[in-house]
Amino acid sequence: MTRIEKVLYTGKVHISAGGRDGEAHSDDGRLNLQLSSPGTKGPGTNPEQLLATGWSACFIGAIGLAAGKMNVKLPAELSVDAEVDLGMAGEAYLLQARLNVHIPGIDREVAQALVDTAHRTCPYSKALHGNIHVETNLV
């Protein structure tokens, strides 16, 4: 396992009792969320949506880094639709995910190379690689 040599940022969040039905507050006050379990009509978001949000935002950043190295100008319409599933296999709870990447106006082969490179370099992708089933789809 590779260890970080220089910490660039530490996200700090406090979750109240209640976990999936609690509240999340960041130490800097910029994040204040009500949480609710997936599939309920609760007022808040859930951990799967938060993972999908962070991962897709980071993935777009990784695409941008790859595009810079390949001298590719990315379109403003670049987007990632992340889907994170919570499910079960037997008695075990598991996650799986799909990253559906839209890069209009870029040759499909070049776009696929950007997606593949981003998936190898995005910290979220690296953290989850080999731990959950992940599909990256160029749409």
Q: Using one digit for the tens of pLDDT, what is the confidence trace for 99-130?
A: 999 999 999 999 999 999 999 999 999 999 99
pLDDT tier for residue 1 given thresholds of 50, 70 and 90: confident
Instruction: Give me the CATH topology for the region 1-44.
Output: N-terminal domain of TfIIb (2.20.25)
Domain range annotation of the chain: 1-44, 45-136
Tokens of 127: 């953290």
- Provide the whole-model pTM: 0.94
What's the confidence (pLDDT) of residue 24? 95
Angle between helices 108-121 and 47-70 (to 10 degrees): 120
Strands 32-34 and 79-89 turn out to be unpaired
**What is the per-residue pLDDT for 12?**
97
Distances (CA, A) of 5 to 2, 16, 43, 78, 121: 9, 31, 40, 32, 17
Q: Looking at residue 8, what DSSP letter applies? A: -
pLDDT of 2: 85
CATH topology of domain 45-136: GMP Synthetase; Chain A, domain 3 (3.30.300)
